[in-house]
Amino acid sequence: MIKILLACAGITIFPWVVGRPLAPSRERGGRLLFSWIYGQLVLWAAFLVLSVPMILIGKNYAQVRTAYAYVCVALFVIACGATLFPWLRRRKTGEGAGADGKMEPWFGKKRWTQALWIAFACILLVQVLCALFLAYEDGDDAYYVAITTYCQGEKPLYRIIPYTGFTTELQARHALAPFPVWVAILAEASGLSGAATSHVMMPLLVLLMTYGLYALIGRRLFQTQTEQGKGWTLPLFLCFVALLIMFGGYSIYSPENFLVVRAAQGKAVLANVVIPALVYAMMLLLEALEKQEKVPSRLWVVLFAIMTTSCLCSSLGGFLLCIFLGLTVFCACICYHRWKLMVGACVTMLVPMVVAALYMIL
């Protein structure tokens, strides 16, 4: 039980601290969600940058896990310093956070708004129960969950056939997206088996991150209505999204099916977490351009983490997000005459470019 509580703290409090310096100073009411979600993306990005070279040179799970633990501690210390020093400086000089405008609280004061929030909570609870307790069959579990289990051995990673346990050559296509190895680290930290972690902890994590991102996106989309006291727009939007997800099992390849059925697989995280995270980051970027402000450097760090995490989830995920980001930034350059944005966009695509090159070579 203690291990499970520590693992839960490791996927909640720890990412929140890491992502705290990246939260926009004018993020109205969403700093906690933003810090937690994007802090987790930073940790995933760090895991990809660390693990892929180690896997390619033949390191085993224990070596990757130990190195990742040191990197996490380093990121935690850096984040604490980056959060504490500006706070002390503002306190010394008496400067405020500079939040512009006031918005109605998340849950509002009107009964209609609170009723919609309760309805959304009920729909979310049903989805959580479905993900945790309803049996389902997914052929990919025979590969990805098996990798999570086998990689805890002493043999080099991605050199074992998950179906038989026999040794083979490097499976480069899967080694470039080692998300199951991160799930194995979470499983070891919680004391649960790889299968239990994949089917219990990961659905909770991915579901909460997904709806957290939709809450941030909805709060930004309905910002004007919220400022005018129409706080019911956000919970109504979330109820609509939740209903679409609940009845989205029209195909085994739909993002909604991946969210509820295949939450432990990198493709589910790519479709339901990484892509919405990029959408929200693009909204922040375009908002800064619309206000003729300088794009904050921390936003480029966030974009770099998103693009890198896309490669962790899927070998081809970087291709998709590079196209999305490239087209968005190119259109922004034309509209706002800020051609320097292309430089920042190219920097954020460095890791996907390297992974794509390795994919072609290997």
pLDDT > 50? residue 3: yes
pLDDT digits (tens, 9 = 90+) for 67-93: 999 999 999 999 999 888 877 777 766
* Closest among 308, 296, 279 to 213, alpha carbons compared: 279
Q: How far is CA 21 from CA 165, 290, 300, in A?
A: 43, 23, 13
Structural domain boundaries in the chain: 2-90+119-361
Are 235 and 119 contacting, i.e. CB atoms less than 8 angstroms apart?
yes
- Lowest mean pLDDT across 2-11, 94-103, 344-353: 94-103
In the DSSP assignment, the letter for residue 201 is I
Average pLDDT over residues 178-197: 89
Are 31 and 222 contacting, i.e. CB atoms less than 8 angstroms apart?
no
pLDDT > 60? residue 326: yes
* Closest among 100, 123, 99, 119 to 111, alpha carbons compared: 119
- pLDDT of amino acid 27: 60
* Closest among 220, 272, 268, 269 to 241, alpha carbons compared: 272
- pLDDT of amino acid 101: 45
Q: To the nearest whole percent, how much of the chain has pLDDT over 70?
A: 89
Report the SS3 class of residue 191.
coil
DSSP per-residue string spanning 184-205: HHHHHHHT--HHHIIIIIHHHH
* pLDDT confidence tier of residue 205, bands split at 50, 70 and 90: very high
Residue, of 87 and 261, whose pLDDT is higher: 261
Those residues whose C-beta lies under 8 Å from the C-beta of residue 43, and which sit 6 or more positions away, are: 14, 15, 18, 72, 75
Q: What is the model's pTM?
A: 0.91
Mean pLDDT of the chain: 86
Average pLDDT over residues 21-44: 86
- pLDDT of amino acid 29: 60
- Which tokens in the block code for residue 124? 């979310």
pLDDT digits (tens, 9 = 90+) for 143-182: 888 888 887 666 788 888 877 777 888 888 889 999 999 9
- Which tokens in the block code for residue 197? 């972690």
